[in-house]
Structure 1
Amino acid sequence: MSHDGVGLRAVMRSIAFLTAGVLVVPALAGCGSDDEAGKPLAGQDIAPAARAQVADGGTLRWAVDSVPETLNAFQADADATTTKIAQAVLPSMYRMNDSGRPEINPDYLESAEVVDTEPRQVVLYKLNQQAVWSDGREIGAADFAAQWRALSGKDSAYWTARNAGYDRIERIERGKSNLEVKVTFSRPYADWKSLFTPLYPKEVMGTPDAFNDGARTKLKVTAGPFTVQQVDKKKDEVTLVRSTRWWGEPAKLSKIVLVAVPREKRAEALAAGTVDLADIDAATAQRIDLASRPKGTATPLQGSKAAGTADAGPLARYEVRKSLEPAFTQLALNGADGPLADERVRRAVARALDREELAEVVLKPLGLPAVPVGSHLALSGQAAYTDNSGALGGQDTKEAQALLADAGWVRGGPLKEPKKKEEQKAAGSEGESASASASPSPGKSAGEDDGTYIVGEDGKAGEDPEGRDRDPQGEPPHLAQDGKQHVRQGGGAQGAYAPKGTAAPGAAAGPLAKDGKPLTLRFVLPSGPGSDTLRRVADRISRMLQRVGILTETTRVSDASYFKDHIANGEYDLALYSWPASAFPATDARPIYAKPVPAADGSLTIEQNYTRVGTDQVDQLFDQAIATLDEEEARDLVRKADSRIWAAAGSVPLYQRPQLTAARKNLANTGSFGFETPVYEDMGFLKKTRKATQAARS
């Protein structure tokens, strides 16, 4: 699920049994020695500037989703703001580069390497000799050991959200000097670079009480360019101040104030000048873009709205910095029961989808690369990435129909009784409202923000008293890309249009049925703010499915209940949500795709496999990858696992999520970071030049 920047490793995990026969899988991609990872589809957009060009001092007011419940990133209720704070104030042994790959952080480490593999894997860390905590104590083996004991899972008094990797450590000891930390593993662990980032001081990790409660609202000891001054829940702010104990390049900013601002109120906050930096949706991005452009110029963010129609006003002080998030949106198919318990039906759903079209719906209007995601386990540019979608196959209507027929779903069968003419007319009128809200209207951008989990529905137009969409047949005219009005051909497949006045062809066959029931799938979507894109994506998916005879019944639910009551509980057939990409997929992605295991009470332990589809083979490939210290071999095992995940069709990756950030034009080294870990000490406001001063006075 999407957490708007929360690292996958901060998320707890929990799904069902794969019911299917023997599957013939095409030749697996990604098994050779060539690096097929490619490059990131979009680079970061942070207005880079040399430190000499950045002024000393100033306060950056940065909009975030919430003031965190805890400052301890290893607790279950840690969130995206917890991650931001940890990056700014705590040690990280590794940081992500612009391709989403881990690199040594020289502010804390001189080197780290595997120095022995027999009889045990041993990693030797050599620390930066200047690295100290804010109380003056050297960072050392005692801190590493305290974190290992807290997160190893051996002491249930620690309320930890995860222990992956730490549970494989046998012991931690001092090396030849205080600057060396020697970590010995009981079992081989390929993703050892994921450990000790962030690293908390032994004062936080040393006892259960300190871990559970001591670091929730305060961090007395830190070791970064900033330190935590205050968490103020009344003001909904967290204040970070420049650390006087920092040994690296001194922070340019005096303060960073993280201000909780709901997504739907960020345009208002920007216009009022109360924030300098904020992740925004496409509608707000369009307003900013229009405000900054001379009249008569067009931009990728404007859609069909005429350029130069917006009053510049206060939004002209900002610019939009855009990239792609290290996260992807997927269509999840619940394989626990119902029609999707049959692997053939899941594969038919996947083969009915035009993933390129769906990516274009979201990304093309923003001027971002509209390339479908080809892996469940990595994104383009990351070491494990290769396009394994061929293990399932691309869009193919005939193949989808053949799979459904093989599963026993055929045309015809008893369906609902035809409505009377009066009822049909009334239903058609209501359906127009629903359909109109489901497609981009003139002047509205087609690429909204994905929302809290991902782009959701607004839960308003066209919704019946029980929250379900009307039958989408009988939609009103739509505006096509050519600007002409089109109407659906009478009796045609969902999504088929012809110019107004075109004669209607003969009626198409009815939907598929089996045992007297139509093939109808429950499509569950969130209804909160920022949900327009998901509505459009879901609408396109429904049309694509109807072309092969699959009907969908869309239910809109509140954001609060969407994940907890529906996704996690398996109360859906189809759903859209996002996962962040990880540099360590063998560790982080395994719980998402692990085969569910029956529990003693008869339920299934699903970890985070919310599609409830898994196989023994995928589990084995993950287990082999995590225990393989040869990086190339481990990468190929992960790619093989991804091919098998594609073939099982429990989920279909669609597109990488857009990342749109509003930033003051004089703000440097921050914005849409893409894969790369932010460098907090380099952020700041550009020095005022004589030209800028004169422009400000004029």
Structure 2
Amino acid sequence: MPRMFGRPVTAVAVALSATMLIAGCSGGSGDDGKPDAGKSSAPPAVGAQGINPQPASKVKQGGTLKMAIQQWISQWNSYQVDGNQGDAQSIVAQVEPSLFHYDAQGVSQLDRDFLLSADVTSTSPQVVTYTLNPKAKWSDGKQLSWQDFATQWKALNGSDDRYRVADTSGYEQISAVTRGADDQQVKITFSTPYADWKRLFRPLLPAATIATPDLFNKGWLGRIPVTGNSWKVSGYDKTAETVTTVPDPAWWGTKPKLDAVIYRALDATADTDAYLNKEIDYAAAIQPEDYKRLVKAPDTDIRSGARWDEVHITLNGARGPLQDLAVRQAVDLAIDRQGIVAAFSKDLPFPVKPLGNHFFMPNQQGYQDNSGKWGSYDLAGAQKLLDAAGWKDNGPGKPRTKDGKQLTLQYVLSAGATSSATDQAQLVQAQLGQAGVAVKIQTVPADDYFEKYVHTGAFDLVSFRNVDAIFQTLLYSTFQAPTASQVYGNYGRISTPQIQQLISQAARTTDPTAAVALYNQADAKIWEQVHSIELYQRPQILAVRKGLANFGASGLADWDYDAMGWTA
């Protein structure tokens, strides 16, 4: 699934662990574009990219870029709970304003096509003043204005449950959004300090399209109603399952190089054949069977990078046996993470280790392994917990029982899953079977996977990826305590008052060292509650058509849709 940027919006994008949610730049290959032989001593570092960087003078005007997306998109509002999905977010970021972009180090940089300035102009209370570029306009001809900010804040701050939002974090800490010197200046006042303010309002959406709960929830179904960037959508073809974007002739900034970008919905298992048939211009090369075919393809570069990208297993604590913490902890101990990681990474050019943190990646400042005993494989410990919880051991190969019911869990898998995701599900099934936990793998249509199963909680176990959470507050909704009407991004519906307090305090802490310490304290509690079982940081390895410039494995950076194109 393509990366959502642009970049992260109010909630971090989620993607199937089966597929590659793409990035935007790269390095890590030999002079011939093929990976160096053997395993390197370490994975790509922060800032590593592989995008074939080229100046504008060496990129020709014109041409089409063909990209795969994972499913047909029905909800385009990336702030709405059903729109919190990487394909939609990626395309929306191409056609709507992102006030900041991220560089290769993951540092936010002002986008001057939209902003002349954005600064903290007061610290008590915290006030951020944005001055908009007066040239910036929506596709309906209206200038971007302070009213767009005010309307978005009202929709996302959590004060009105009729807005089905994916994430309220950051916005709920804003106390006022007011007009500045003119309509193109806006003042954001925070009720409590908020260090990650640059992650808010990206993308910015037009007020007219989200001004009411009905518009917010339904106005973006099947279409993007108004755009405001260098690109616009020229067509949605549901029969062919393609979405086409083209440069907007009304754009006030640098003209894009490409004539069009065509997104085509494909199951991940079809990407390699589609690439080899020249139906798309990149494909994930991370699966062994795909890599072996793609590395030999003519006119192909293998591009790699290091991005914020984690694979995990989410447990549903709101139904069935997993409502019991002891059962969740038993499931955790019975899963051999090292075995799963080894099976996934056996053919990769660099080592992959089990991930020990929900907030930080191993190549990111602030990382520490907080998994403790919950990161270890302990079958005997799992069996002991299940015994104590009243689940009778019926012998090898037989499910445990309690009150006449078998201990059975439903593992939901997308029909579009690649071999590694399928293998992972089968490994979990076998590992939990050793503890007397039966696992039924239910394969569902790819287009229904998130909307009808993950988002609604129709699962016991499910695996997907959180990506590009460079700001830790982007993960706030993932661990936020659900309410009666909102689950936010916490699809397993597991939280505690202590976790909520720690992540809330961290979000309000402007001292980076203190914030890191709070996130790590919260992480230890998240492991203990078995909210989700972290598996590994997923590498970026892409096969990209040779001659495609400023595109590929971008690591922590955004894609620049205006710079990408074909060299002469």
What TM bracket, shorter-length normalisation? Answer: 0.7 to 0.9
- In the alignment, does 2:549 pair up with 1:668? yes
Q: Secondary structure at the match of 2:504?
A: helix
Residues 54 and 684, structure 1, Cα contact 8 Å, conserved in 2: yes
Spell out the pairing of 1:535-546 with structure 2 (5 A cutoff): 535-545=422-432
- In the alignment, does 2:341 pair up with 1:359? yes
Report deviation, 1:628. 2.8
Spell out the pairing of 1:60-459 with structure 2 (5 A cutoff): 60-78=65-83, 79-118=85-124, 120-128=125-133, 131-133=136-138, 138-152=143-157, 162-176=167-181, 180-205=185-210, 222-279=227-284, 282=287, 283-291=289-297, 316-323=298-305, 326-336=308-318, 340-382=322-364, 385-390=367-372, 392-396=374-378, 415=395
Q: Which amino acid aligns with 1:258?
A: Y
**Aligned Cα RMSD in Å?**
4.0
Q: Which amino acid aligns with 1:642?
A: D
Q: Which amino acid aligns with 2:544?
A: A
Q: Secondary structure at the match of 1:680?
A: coil
Alpha-carbon distance change, 577 to 238 in structure 1, aligned in 2, over 3 angstroms: closer
Report deviation, 1:273. 2.5
Report deviation, 1:677. 1.5
Report deviation, 1:236. 3.2
Residues 12 and 475, structure 2, Cα contact 8 Å, conserved in 1: no
Scaled by the length of structure 2, the TM-score of the pair is 0.79
Report deviation, 1:642. 0.8
Alpha-carbon distance change, 538 to 231 in structure 1, aligned in 2, over 3 angstroms: closer
Q: Which amino acid aligns with 1:270?
A: Y
Q: Which amino acid aligns with 2:424?
A: V
Alpha-carbon distance change, 183 to 648 in structure 1, aligned in 2, over 3 angstroms: same
Q: Distance in 2 between matches of 1:662 and 1:4?
A: 14
Q: Distance in 1 between matches of 2:81 and 2:456?
A: 18
Alpha-carbon distance change, 681 to 543 in structure 1, aligned in 2, over 3 angstroms: same
Alignment deviations for residues 530-567 of structure 1 (CA, whole Å, 9 cap, x no partner): 342123223444555566x4444333332466666765
Report deviation, 1:272. 3.4
Report deviation, 1:571. 6.2
Q: Distance in 1 between matches of 2:96 and 2:389?
A: 54
Bigger radius of gyration: 1
Q: Which amino acid aligns with 1:653?
A: E
Q: Which amino acid aligns with 1:556?
A: Q
Partner of 1:683: 564
Partner of 2:419: 532
Partner of 1:635: 516
Residues 384 and 638, structure 1, Cα contact 8 Å, conserved in 2: no
Residues 2 and 69, structure 2, Cα contact 8 Å, conserved in 1: no
Residues 324 and 656, structure 1, Cα contact 8 Å, conserved in 2: no
Residues 8 and 582, structure 1, Cα contact 8 Å, conserved in 2: no
Residues 39 and 380, structure 1, Cα contact 8 Å, conserved in 2: no
Q: Distance in 1 between matches of 2:373 and 2:488?
A: 25
Report deviation, 1:665. 0.9
Q: Which amino acid aligns with 1:65?
A: Q
Partner of 2:48: 43
Report deviation, 1:365. 1.4
Alpha-carbon distance change, 140 to 632 in structure 1, aligned in 2, over 3 angstroms: farther
- In the alignment, does 2:533 pair up with 1:656? no
Report deviation, 1:42. 8.5
Range 366-375 or range 511-520, more displaced: 511-520
Q: Which amino acid aligns with 2:282?
A: L
Alignment deviations for residues 99-148 of structure 1 (CA, whole Å, 9 cap, x no partner): 54544334433443332233x33111234465455577653323323333
Residues 509 and 515, structure 2, Cα contact 8 Å, conserved in 1: yes
Alpha-carbon distance change, 397 to 61 in structure 1, aligned in 2, over 3 angstroms: closer
Alpha-carbon distance change, 41 to 338 in structure 1, aligned in 2, over 3 angstroms: farther
Q: Distance in 1 between matches of 2:475 and 2:412?
A: 23
Q: Secondary structure at the match of 2:562?
A: helix
Alpha-carbon distance change, 551 to 208 in structure 1, aligned in 2, over 3 angstroms: closer
Q: Secondary structure at the match of 1:69?
A: coil
Residues 330 and 578, structure 1, Cα contact 8 Å, conserved in 2: yes
Report deviation, 1:667. 0.8
Alignment deviations for residues 272-297 of structure 1 (CA, whole Å, 9 cap, x no partner): 33332345673334212133xxxxxx
Alpha-carbon distance change, 618 to 129 in structure 1, aligned in 2, over 3 angstroms: same
Report deviation, 1:345. 4.6
Q: Distance in 1 between matches of 2:503 and 2:565?
A: 42
Alpha-carbon distance change, 57 to 383 in structure 1, aligned in 2, over 3 angstroms: same
Residues 303 and 543, structure 2, Cα contact 8 Å, conserved in 1: yes
Q: Secondary structure at the match of 1:113?
A: strand
Q: Distance in 2 between matches of 1:348 and 1:383?
A: 31
Range 43-52 or range 391-400, more displaced: 391-400
Q: Secondary structure at the match of 1:114?
A: strand
Partner of 2:472: 585
Report deviation, 1:619. 1.2
How many corresponding residue pairs?
534
Report deviation, 1:390. 2.7
Q: Distance in 2 between matches of 1:60 and 1:149?
A: 37
Scaled by the length of structure 1, the TM-score of the pair is 0.66
Residues 188 and 629, structure 1, Cα contact 8 Å, conserved in 2: yes
Q: Distance in 1 between matches of 2:203 and 2:91?
A: 10
Residues 2 and 90, structure 2, Cα contact 8 Å, conserved in 1: no
Q: Which amino acid aligns with 2:465?
A: S
Q: Which amino acid aligns with 1:589?
A: L
Residues 46 and 555, structure 2, Cα contact 8 Å, conserved in 1: no
Identity percentage over the alignment? 33
- In the alignment, does 2:503 pair up with 1:622? yes
Report deviation, 1:686. 0.8
Q: Secondary structure at the match of 1:321?
A: strand
Alignment deviations for residues 391-415 of structure 1 (CA, whole Å, 9 cap, x no partner): 74534556556656666778xx655
Alpha-carbon distance change, 640 to 133 in structure 1, aligned in 2, over 3 angstroms: same
Residues 74 and 162, structure 1, Cα contact 8 Å, conserved in 2: yes
Residues 147 and 207, structure 2, Cα contact 8 Å, conserved in 1: yes
Q: Distance in 1 between matches of 2:115 and 2:348?
A: 39
Q: Which amino acid aligns with 1:117?
A: T
Q: Which amino acid aligns with 1:229?
A: S
Q: Secondary structure at the match of 1:589?
A: helix
Partner of 2:19: none
Report deviation, 1:607. 4.8
Q: Distance in 2 between matches of 1:236 and 1:368?
A: 36
Q: Secondary structure at the match of 1:290?
A: coil
Residues 9 and 202, structure 2, Cα contact 8 Å, conserved in 1: no
Residues 40 and 379, structure 1, Cα contact 8 Å, conserved in 2: no
Residues 101 and 382, structure 1, Cα contact 8 Å, conserved in 2: no
Q: Distance in 1 between matches of 2:221 and 2:161?
A: 18
Partner of 1:462: none
Spell out the pairing of 1:470-509 with structure 2 (5 A cutoff): none
Q: Distance in 2 between matches of 1:686 and 1:632?
A: 44
Report deviation, 1:681. 0.9
Q: Which amino acid aligns with 1:673?
A: S
